[in-house]
Structure 1
Amino acid sequence: MIQRVQSVWLFLASLTLFLLLLLPVVSNQINGSEFWIMVTGLYQKTNETAIKVESFRPLYISAAAVGLICFISIFAFRNRTAQKRIIIAAMVLIISLSYWIFNYAQKIPGGIASASYGVGAFLPILAVLFCALALRGIRKDEQLLKSADRLR
């Protein structure tokens, strides 16, 4: 059923991935200009005007797709093995997405060493944690069903 606890964990994982689309990952200030990187691109703010310097469209599409995969896996509750496989694939995709974000973050002017990390830098870690908790909930469901079958 959809009301299982892993549905909540999967919803939270998809929510964190969709928040990644809106929140900055790293930011840096150089010579009176502020630069920040989001999944959508590299932004620069000078004289109270913000412009997009570079667009990261493939990264944006990939982040949205991984968020959708986590959300769609909620509705695969009838087939627990398929749901587990989807979640494991989503976890691998989240880890590769975070590596890809790190590679783009190195493009920030001034270097990543002097940059400050935003909330978006920690969201992929949370998403992987929520997916792992969903896997744990699915395994507990399977154990519950096996124990109920033994009682029959």
Structure 2
Amino acid sequence: MLQRIQTIYLLLAAIVSAGLIYVLALWTNNEGVEVFADDVNYVFVAFLVSAFFSIVAIFRYKNRKSQFMLGRLNIILNFFLLGFFVYQSLNISGETAVSEKGIGMLLPIISIVFLVLANKAIKKDEDLVKSVDRLR
């Protein structure tokens, strides 16, 4: 059912992954130019795939197991994105490619929080359906 709470969580995760990447800068380079996610191709693709997984999971409401699995895959993808940002900010010296870190590096964390909340609600629905099936 589309009116469940996990739909809202998945929609918020999709908005964070697809919408806020154009608003919040990832970092500022040496020349003072802000770098957004669409400036780095593989980061841009990873954010769009994350948003796609969230949107597909919304419409998989009849199959909660696949919806839960898509949420987990999306969480793993966001952890890879977060790991890349941590690597980018820690292992490269301050004045080479990343001069100043932006708030956009926190977008995978926000997305992970929404996806965990959605998976928790999906699991709760699945447990409810199983408990009703036991009563029959």
TM range (shorter): 0.7 to 0.9
Q: What's the counterpart of residue 122 of structure 1? A: 106
* 1:24 partner amino acid: A
Mapped to 1, the partners of 2:47 and 2:98 lie a distance apart of 24
Structure with bigger strand share is 1
Shift of 1:146: 2.1
2:17 match: secondary structure? helix
| Stretches of structure 1 lacking an aligned partner (at least 5 in a row) | 42-55
Q: What's the counterpart of residue 52 of structure 1? A: none
| Cα distance, 1:108–1:17 mapped onto 2, change above 3 Å | farther
Structure with bigger helix share is 2
Q: Which has the larger radius of gyration?
A: 1
TM-score, L = length of structure 1: 0.75
* Alignment partner of 2:32 out of 31, 34, 56: 34
**Could you list the per-position Cα deviations for residues 7-62 of structure 1 after superposition, in whole angstroms to 9, with x for gaps in the alignment?**
1111111110013421202236x6xx423222122xxxxxxxxxxxxxx2222122
Q: What's the counterpart of residue 82 of structure 2? A: 98
2:32 match: secondary structure? strand
The answer to whether residue 69 in structure 2 is matched with residue 71 in structure 1 is: no
**8 Å Cα contact 1:21/1:64 also seen in 2:** no
The answer to whether residue 42 in structure 2 is matched with residue 58 in structure 1 is: yes
How many residues are treated as equivalent by the alignment?
Answer: 134
**8 Å Cα contact 2:28/2:99 also seen in 1:** no
Shift of 1:147: 2.3
**8 Å Cα contact 1:35/1:109 also seen in 2:** no
1:87 match: secondary structure? helix
TM-score, L = length of structure 2: 0.83
Mapped to 2, the partners of 1:58 and 1:66 lie a distance apart of 12
* 2:12 partner amino acid: L
